[in-house]
Structure 1
Amino acid sequence: MADPLSAAEFIAKLRAEGVKVVEVGNWRTHNRNSKGAWGPVHGVMIHHTVTSGTAATVKICRDGYAALPGPLCHGVIAKDGTVHLVGYGRANHAGLGDDDVLKAVINETALPADSEANTDGNARFYGFECENLGDGKDPWPEAQLLAVERVSAAICRHHKWSERSVIGHLEWQPGKVDPRGFTMASMRGRIATRLGIKPQPAPLPQPSKPVVDLSRLVAAAKSDPARSGTPVTYSGVKTVEVALVDAGLLAKAYSDGHFGRATVEAYAKWQRHLGYSGTAADGIPGKTSLVRLGAKYGFAVVA
């Protein structure tokens, strides 16, 4: 956890690391701070733009567009390695990501799979967009990769972070693929070397949370009670039943993967525990109650 660098400190640190910098307009005060927090910061996030041409890329990253106003990052890293500073403060670059990933960045441990989008990354990360089509074919010149390495190292050096505080957008937000064309593991290796950090064995991956699909769970809750036997219509039912057992609401014998009447009654008890009543506590899972069950008993929810 750290307070963000001031704009003056930020540009000075980049230049001290050997970064070629271009200041674009009023970048020092161009931000989205009126929409939310900027800081404390925990890391650096790298993106690709899916654009070509430096001038056009810088313009869209500075201005944004109707659905997503700029700035869309703090700096645009062009193919020649020049870093164009387009904003400073809160920027629309990271969006919502996984809280478990943020914890790993803070602790500088192995990154878990990004299975949730529940945490505001715009407040917590410095962001750099790299000029690249993102198709896996557009080349990444060495000058550009060197600039990625240098800007990341400059920020990590100031905050006394290691290379593990640098992540890609694809490691933060489910469904994202950027940056595509090089691996973040290889980039973190370069950053560690620049920082003079002795290479360490890769940390053991942390077990990822099970993921429960709300729509499939609801379908099971509505159809399974009428079925005979214990058919497993959706594997996520078992995850929820284990949680209900742990909560003391369901007998272990009914933790069988069948969202039967006993499970409906147990889930209704959970809903009433949260303060719901009447038809809002009918034993059919809703998003809020399921997310709260998962947060307490160790599974993620997708809707």
Structure 2
Amino acid sequence: MATPLSADRMVKALKAEGVAVKEYRSWRTHNRNHKGSWGGVNGVVIHHTAGVGSGMADFCYDGTSSLPGPLCHAFVSKKATVYLIGHGRANHAGSFARNAHDAVVRESSKHPRPDSSEPIDGNRHYYGIEIENRGDGEDPYPKGQYEQAVRWAAAICRAHKWTADSVIGHKEGTRRKIDPSFSMAEFRRDVADRLKGKPGSGGSEKEADMPIRTSLGKDKAQSTGWGDWTVVRWDVEHADPAKQHGDGNYPGYVPSVTSWADFNGRLRITGLEPGDQVQVRYEVHDWKDGKSTGTWTEVIADHQATPGDQFLSMPFSKGLKKGQHVYVAVKPIPGPRRGDAASPKVTDGRWAIRQDQN
């Protein structure tokens, strides 16, 4: 653990790294220290705001009645300005899983899926930045904005003599969150590249472009079978810069092009009743000559039905091999019921995939 940077040291480190700093309102004394300890610190957490607009800096500063600000230590706008929001304890991370926190403390190159138990006070141990973005897989991160976030994280790591593995995404610390909506593996590579150079430089070499973004959606309802895995067939293409799908052809998968891929999204399922369950999993298929030669799967959600439509979150990160294909599949499991019931339906959803373009 490290002693948190003073406000003056923070500003100096950020400016030395080339961060476009704006000291916002009374940020130097704006904190939640009266609610708990601040430090020692172990790393930095990356978030997206899940909203955009001219009032986002004020929102991050003020928070809400149920979640008072500051909601982060820094906020980076679409226009690539980094607003300093708070100094000290901030309401940004919440509780974290022990295995996720321990990976940061060890500066491990492997960040595991967080355990469901969350005994760590993330607000005590982490700096946090909010990046202005809707987080829906469609909203782009302008190059300047993304670069400023990288510089911000690198500046703090450099000041504490941490490696890039002290940087963690909110989705990597807890199963409750899906932010940020880009690959943390890629982000850490960009931070590591910057740390190889001198403060304020362009890094050891030309910085990588943002990963490819593919975003699929679902407009038409699709029936599922009780007790059977059903692959979701996407029928709307919101973004496909790599031309990974032909016109009108959404077979439910996206091929991985390098050793990692980052997915997030949600599904809506109708026709479930209390007592029913639904599981969601990713299927990764090895392909050769247009055919699947093997499959591995991982269940990412095991949901108990409640009255009304079910909305299922689907955050997932996994290392993949070139040429592999990735599917989303669902399996409804009936609970005790009287008589036969119609099969549930997947009625809409969004699946955003971040991939390296090299």
Q: Same fold (TM over 0.5)?
A: yes
For 1:148 and 1:25, the matched residues in 2 are separated by: 20
Tell me what 1:278 maps to: none
Secondary structure of the structure 2 residue equivalent to 1:65:
coil
Aligned position for 1:161: 162
Indicate the structure (1 or 2) with the bigger Cα radius of gyration. 1
1:190-269 aligned at under 5 Å gives the runs 190-196=190-196
Distance in 1, Cα, partners of 2:12 & 2:134: 30
Deviations 1:142-174 (A, max 9, x none): 001101110010000011110000010000011
- Aligned pair count reads 199
Q: Match for residue 262 of structure 1?
A: none
Q: Take 1:24 and 1:193, find their aligned partners in 2: how far apart are those partners?
A: 29
Equivalent runs, 1:135-150 vs 2, <5 Å? 135-150=136-151
Check whether the contact 1:51–1:133 (CA below 8 A) recurs between aligned residues: yes
- Give the corresponding residue for 1:76: 75
1:46 paired with 2:46, answer yes
- Name the SS of the counterpart of 1:67 in structure 2: coil
Aligned equivalent of 1:117: 118
Residues 105-131 of structure 1: CA deviation (Å, up to 9, x unaligned): 010112121122221000000000010
Match of 2:334 in 1: none
Q: Output the CA distance in 2 between the equivalents of 1:86 and 1:73.
A: 6
Per-residue displacement from partner, 1:212-257 (whole Å, max 9, x unpaired)? xxxxxxxxxxxxxxxxxxxxxxxxxxxxxxxxxxxxxxxxxxxxxx
Task: Please name the residue that 2:59 is paired with.
Answer: 60
1:17 paired with 2:14, answer: no
Write out the 4+ residue segments of structure 1 that deviate beyond 2 Å after TM superposition: none
Structure 2 residue runs without a partner (length 5+)? 198-203, 205-258, 260-358
Give 5+ residue unaligned stretches, structure 1. Answer: 203-303
Structure-2-length-normalised TM-score:
0.54
Name the one with the larger strand percent: 2
Q: Cα offset for 1:175?
A: 2.1
- 3-state SS of 2:112 partner: coil
What is the one-letter code of the residue matched to 1:113?
A: R
Could you tell me how far 1:7 is from its partner in structure 2?
A: 0.6
Shift of 1:99: 1.2
Which residue of the partner structure matches residue 101 of structure 1? Answer: 100
Letter in 2 for 1:184: M
> What one-letter code is carried by the residue in structure 2 that aligns with 1:145?
Y
1:24 positional shift: 1.0
Percent of counterpart pairs with the same letter? Answer: 50
Q: Alpha-carbon deviation of 1:91?
A: 0.1
Secondary structure of the corresponding residue to residue 22 of structure 1 = strand
CA distance in 2, matches of 1:107, 1:18: 28
CA RMSD of aligned residues (A): 1.8
Displacement, 1:25?
0.9
Question: Would you say the 8 A contact 1:23–1:84 is kept in 2?
Answer: yes
Secondary structure at the aligned position of 1:189 is classed as helix
Calculate the TM-score normalised by the size of structure 1.
0.64
Q: Separation in 2 of the partners of 1:114 and 1:186?
A: 19
